[in-house]
Amino acid sequence: MKIVHVASEMYPYVKTGGLADAVGSLATTLADRGHEVLVFLPGYRAVMDHPDAGKAERVQKLRIEMGDVFMSGEVRAFSPRKNLTVYLVCREEFFDRRHPYGNGERDYEDNHHRYIFFCKGVVELLRLNTMRADIVHGHDWQTGLLPVLLRHAEQRHGVTLAMKTIYTVHNIAFQGVFPMRSFYRTNLPEELQGIDGVEFYGQMSMMKAGLLFADRVTTVSPRYSLEIQTQEFGCGLDGVVKTRADDLVGLINGIDTQVWNPATDTLLPAKFSAQDLSGKGTCRAELLTRTGLTAGPKVPVFGMVCRLTEQKGVQLVLANKAFFEREDVRLIVLGTGDRKLEQGMRDLIATLPAKVAFAPRLDEAMSHLVEAGSDFFVMPSLFEPCGLNQMYSQAYGTVPLVSKVGGLVDTVIDVDADPANGTGIMFPPTEAGLATGLTRALRLHADATRYAATQRRGMQRDFSWDRAAEAYEALYEDSL
């Protein structure tokens, strides 16, 4: 198949979160499986500075209609591996900036213009070069207008640009909502401004456009595909999602097993596997040393790597201060985010300096060490479309302690509910729920035989992108 992926980020060229990992891994895996894969990205400064982009050639100039004016741009392309070509839609005014979406304090005020231009640039290049794709697959709100822009261009020019369009919601909380006055930049028919089009409480929602006009809609886990049809998790779009229920499917992301594999991980002080876990003890000792903590083998070490936001449930951890005061445990947290939550972690350290360590930074090597050296990995998310760390944890023999939401439900098996197959501990996403989960973790850790069996079952699970890509292939073939 000829498969086109369109996204606002892709690892290793630009990354702000899990979207980049998912797009990069899915695209490269599909290419390795023999498909012709084309990926379109905005020509951000970070992407243009990457060594691969330094080899890019200008494919052609673009002239994009944006309301009552035409804006120029160009497309550059490079091929990082066989069967994979990356196209960069460039316009310095829009994309030559330090950060992809905002300045760190707030989003750029012209993000609607930037991503309308980006989607139009993709459609125009598909048209000018008669690329005729089997599948055009857009990701998240930044590409929400792509399906309707593509079909409108087909009608306008009497051509076929794609057999089918797919739209993936990675996180419905971020919807690309902008003032309706920006709709004129799309040059789409005026009737699409209404409730049956892009209108969302008087504004324009790019994500709503993707949900309505793509041939098929996916989310990043089966559980999340059900959750976003409810008021609790749908963020106002649950009614729209319900109208596409027959065309909606939840597919679990994978993990890059070339990067996240304890048997080959060069970022660890010692390697280990399900057959030989001895190296995990070395990683545990190194983790404690680097964080200035000490703990004997019977003292459980809880690790946490995340953005410090309320979505990730950091406030639930802080609310369970009494547990960490009372029990002989260690807690190691890596990540940055909300200043109030960061201060909360510092306050916890001030109270419990021998039990808690906090590294307020982004550190790839340290994140591997926390995964490898912890006994339990804590993910008390209030919602989690898919999640990756719970899969990393199982691969690294670290028992995940997770909320019963989203992709966490689809990837972790509760050890008490299913003793023969359990790989982790699940709890409701509340302060009391986490308290219960932490107490259950202590009981599990005290039973060395049961804990070791739980570790090994997790390490034997297949979370590879080959498995995930097979599911996408099946979706593409079914759609065609």
Q: Is residue 54 predicted with pLDDT exceeding 90? A: no
Query: What average pLDDT score do residues 428-433 get?
Result: 97
The percent of residues in the chain predicted with pLDDT above 90, rounded, is 93
The C-alpha atoms of residue 60 and residue 32 are separated, in whole angstroms, by 27
CATH topology of domain 2-254+466-479: Rossmann fold (3.40.50)
Q: What angle do CA 377, 381, 386 make, to 5 degrees?
A: 85
Which pLDDT does position 175 carry in this prediction? 95
- Mean predicted confidence (pLDDT) in 77-94: 96
Residue 240: which residues within 8 A CB-CB, separation 6 or more?
A: 208, 211, 212
d(CA 431, CA 429): 7
pLDDT tens digit string along 125-165?
A: 999 988 899 999 999 999 999 999 999 999 999 999 999 99
Structure tokens that stand for 195 in this block: 């409730």
**CA torsion through residues 428, 172, 204, 211, sign:** negative
Identify the band that residue 338 occupies on the pLDDT scale cut at 50, 70 and 90: very high
- Name the token pair of 433: 């729920």
pLDDT at 58 over 80: no
CATH architecture label of 278-462: 3-Layer(aba) Sandwich (3.40)
Residue written as token pair 């639930």 = 316
Mean pLDDT of 202-217: 97
Res 26 pLDDT > 90: yes
Beta strands in 216-349 (DSSP E): 216-219, 248-250, 301-305, 330-334
pLDDT of residue 158: 94
What pLDDT shows up at residue 35? 98
Cα-to-chain-centroid distance, residue 428: 22
Q: How far is CA 195 from CA 180, 191, 203, 233, 476, in A?
A: 12, 9, 10, 21, 29
Q: How far apart are CA 288 and CA 278, in angstroms?
A: 16
Between 146-157 and 111-128, two packed helices, what is the crossing angle to 10 degrees?
Answer: 40
- Residue found under tokens 């891994």: 25
The pLDDT, as a whole number, for residue 243 is 96
The residue type found at 289 is T
Q: Looking at residues 282-287, what average pLDDT do you find?
A: 98
Nearest CA among 286, 280, 210, 274 for reference residue 456: 274
Q: Is the pLDDT of residue 104 over 80?
A: no
Per-residue confidence (pLDDT) for residue 340, from 0 to 100:
95
Rounded CA-CA distance 282/285 in Å is: 5
pLDDT tier for residue 447 given thresholds of 50, 70 and 90: very high
* Cβ pair 37, 31 in contact under 8 A: yes
Residue with tokens 């982009």: 53
Residue 98 pLDDT grade (very low, low, confident, very high; cuts 50, 70, 90): confident
β-strand partners of 84: 37, 81
Peptide bond into 222 cis (omega under 30): no
In this prediction, residue 424 carries a pLDDT of 98
Give the per-residue pLDDT at 445. Answer: 98
**Nearest partner of 318 among 455, 434, 184, judged by Cα:** 434
For the segment 317-321, the average pLDDT, to the nearest whole number, is: 98
Instruction: Return the pLDDT at 479.
Output: 96
d(CA 108, CA 103): 7
393 within 8 A of 399, measured Cβ to Cβ: yes
pLDDT digits (tens, 9 = 90+) for 218-231: 999 999 999 999 99
Q: What's the average model confidence in pLDDT over 267-289?
A: 97
Please name which of 208, 178, 177 lies closest in space to residue 192, comparing C-alpha atoms.
208
| In the chain, where the domains are located | 2-254+466-479, 278-462
What is the chain's mean pLDDT, rounded? 95
Is residue 377 helix, strand or coil? strand
The band of 465, judged by pLDDT with boundaries at 50, 70 and 90, is very high
What pLDDT, on the 0 to 100 scale, is given for residue 16?
84
Arithmetic mean of pLDDT, 65-79: 95
> Is pLDDT at 105 greater than 90 in this prediction?
no
Angle at 361 between CA 100 and CA 319, to 5 degrees: 110
pLDDT for 130: 85
Topology agreement, domain 2-254+466-479 and domain 278-462: yes
